[in-house]
Amino acid sequence: MANETYNILQGIFNGQTPIQRSNPMSGQSKYYYMKPNQNSYTPLSQMQTVDVPSATTPNPYLREEESIPRNWKTAEDGKKVFDFVVKKEGIPTYNKQSPFEYIYSGVVAVPTIINNYLRLKNQKVSDKYKHAVINCSASQYGKGASDMGHIVSGLKEKYDLISGNNTYDESNGDDYANQIGDLMGTKYPNEDCYEIIQRYIDKKI
């Protein structure tokens, strides 16, 4: 019984199972879906939903998600994913930092960037996942750290271009993963980047 209840709730919060309103108000449909992959800490009353005409109508959020690549090589596909993330998450604002806080956050981000790079370097995970996680973990410290992440990522991309490891298009594709990581880390400063990045980028190769 407990497993059945868990599966039902999981289907609802994943946006796969429609919910039926017992007493729809004027202008409301009898059925609606939850928007998938919402922050688990968001109050139920504030979670985003979408009305559908019947219980057999697919969730429009999922239909759109299915057309978005979960991994990519080209800048064109990277932009599709980035635009989709912005559409779903919005563009978060940074907390205000004093000049000292800005510099300090940039400094403390450096060992975090290095540690995550070394941790992920030899793991069998996708390249875009690595880029996003590293920038996510940096930007969680604030604006100074986010800018430091951009600097380090930019230098890495220049090195890859000079060494022939990347084409310009592949490098631009990497940059979209960096931007996704930066956005997610800024919006969710207290969450695990290794988990939240998987909402949009496949971890596996």
Model confidence pLDDT, tens digit, residues 14-41: 788 899 998 888 888 999 988 876 776 7
Mean pLDDT of the chain: 89
What CATH homologous superfamily does 75-199 map to?
Serum amyloid A protein (1.10.132.110)
* Cβ atoms of residues 166 and 174 within 8 Å: yes
Task: Tell me how long the chain is.
Answer: 205
Instruction: Give the C-alpha separation, 162 to 166, whole Å.
Output: 8
CA distance 84 to 201: 12
Cα 62 to the center of its chain, rounded Å: 16
Q: CA-CA-CA-CA torsion for 138, 139, 141, 142, nearest 10 degrees?
A: 150
**pLDDT > 90: what percent of the chain?**
59
Q: Which residues make up the CATH 1.10.132.110 domain(s) of the chain?
A: 75-199
pLDDT tens figures, 124-179: 999 999 999 999 999 999 999 999 999 999 999 999 999 988 899 999 999 999 99
Q: Tell me the C-alpha distance between 151 and 41, whole Å.
A: 32
Judge whether residue 63 has pLDDT over 70. no
